[in-house]
Amino acid sequence: MFERYSVEIPSSDEDWMKLAYNAALDAFDAGEVPVGAVIIRESQLLAVTRNGTIENGSVLGHCELAALHRAAAIIGDWRLNDCTLYATKEPCPMCSGACVMSRIGRVVFAVGDAKMGCLGGCGCDFSKHSGFNHFFPCTSGVLEAPCRELLQKFFQMRRSEENPPGHRKNPKLNSYGV
């Protein structure tokens, strides 16, 4: 249904986001909300993760949290000042807060989320919040069209008879236009 990207040697925001998109496809195939995340440090890949809330039975199964955790374990420090997080959807309040707490250097995301995105989407921007002690630059819209299409297809299927594995029909609308 959706094709994976082939990336030989990632060197741009779009290349790194393609890896996150491929992880989102893995989440889609597993019946999870199709969001993927990648963390790099000085052009070196540290983590590639996908959503796993259903599989793990925990709200903490968001791919951004898993990526932050793996990257910190690899570099041996919870401070990720010189790292960049790529996510196929704008991080939620929990994941945006984790970006602040991890001192992430930069966040790049594909699709904004007007209801739950806390890097500007829902009117709250944790990356610039004056009450916090850490700020970071954000770039949005990188590889937005295919990431949005994947999310839309997932939620269309979720509401139809073509339910992805592990999901029940849910008629409630979301912020991706479906």
SS3 per residue for 28-80:
HHCCCCCCEEEEEECCEEEEEEECCHHHHCCHHHCHHHHHHHHHHHHHCCCCC
pLDDT digits over 148-172, tens only?
999 999 999 988 865 555 555 444 4
Parallel, antiparallel or unpaired: strands 83-89 and 106-111: parallel
* Given the residues 8, 32, 55, 64, the one annotated as active site: 64
Residue 90 annotated in active site: no
Would you call 24 exposed, middle or buried from its count of C-beta atoms within 10 A (0-12, 13-18, 19+)? buried
pLDDT digits over 29-83, tens only?
999 999 999 999 999 999 999 999 999 999 999 999 999 999 999 999 999 999 9
Tokens of 125: 């921007």
Tokens of 100: 């602040």
pLDDT digits over 104-134, tens only?
999 999 999 999 999 999 999 999 999 999 9
